[in-house]
Amino acid sequence: MTDIKQQELDFVNIGHPDGLNGLQRRLVHQLVRNEFPSYRTFARGGGEFMQVEKLDPEREAMVS
């Protein structure tokens, strides 16, 4: 079994036990967009948390 500390993850989740409100989601999105332009945010779990992922240019080209 692989230890989670040794495993490299492609994302990080940002959340709160009570969920994130609209302002908090917007602030996370703006912060990531401005300070980490090679990353992208997604609301997940019905707004309970945000997921931050590194951009994959190949995948983005396929979606566009």
> What does the alpha-carbon distance between residue 5 and residue 25 come to, in Å, rounded to a whole number?
27
pLDDT of 14 > 70? The answer is yes
pLDDT-based confidence at residue 35 (cuts at 50, 70, 90): very high
Q: Whole-angstrom Cα distance, residue 52 to residue 44?
A: 10
CB neighbours of residue 15 within 10 Å = 16
Whether the model clears a pTM of 0.85, i.e. scores above it, the answer is no
Residue whose pair of structure tokens reads 């590194």 in the numeric block? 54
- List the end-to-end C-alpha distance of the chain, in Å, as a whole number: 38
Q: Predicted confidence band at 1 (pLDDT cuts at 50, 70, 90)?
A: very low
| Residue 18 phi, psi (nearest 5) | -90, 5
What confidence tens digit (pLDDT) does each residue in 44-63 have?
988 889 999 998 777 777 87
Neighbour tally for 39: CB within 10 Å: 14
